[in-house]
Amino acid sequence: MDACRADGLFSVICSAYRTQERQEELYFEEAERCLPQGLSFEDAQQEAGRSVAVPGISEHQLGLAVDIVDMDNRHLDESQECTAVQQWLINHSCEYGFILRYPNEKSSITGIIYEPWHYRYAGREHAEQIHRLGVCLEEYLDELQSGEAR
């Protein structure tokens, strides 16, 4: 955050650690928003899980994730991608051990929508490799298991 700000950009952490109760609140609120689409409650919960992690498996609950936005655009939507803050983070977060957790065009692999604001700590070595390879965490872990990631 200090390095980003030193480059004249104004980043803001809008979400970090979440309790089980807070994650449940966010998840069920999202499921409720899906109900008017004509979905059953079960289907609404499944759809909600594409944009809000199911309680108990959220990286925020583990203390590994942080949502970072541009001070002038605090919307958690794809408009974040166009901000100078996000471009800086995409290019430099790996230097500090963080990865863009849900990259564009990886939703079919991660099961989560594109979130250009969601960063996860992976450790510097792994983060730099993930960035260099241009893969998501799931792809990287698969490569590690098969012995391909170097």
State residue 64 phi and psi, 5-degree precision: -100, -10
From 30, 42, 78, 115, the catalytic residue: 115
CB-CB neighbours of 27 under 10 Å: 20
Question: Which residue's structure tokens are 């994730």?
Answer: 65
Active site residue 95: no
Beta strands in 22-97 (DSSP E): 65-70
Bridge-partner residues for 120, per DSSP?
Answer: 65, 99
Q: Which residues contact 8 (CB under 8 A, 6 or more apart)?
A: none
Active site residues: 115
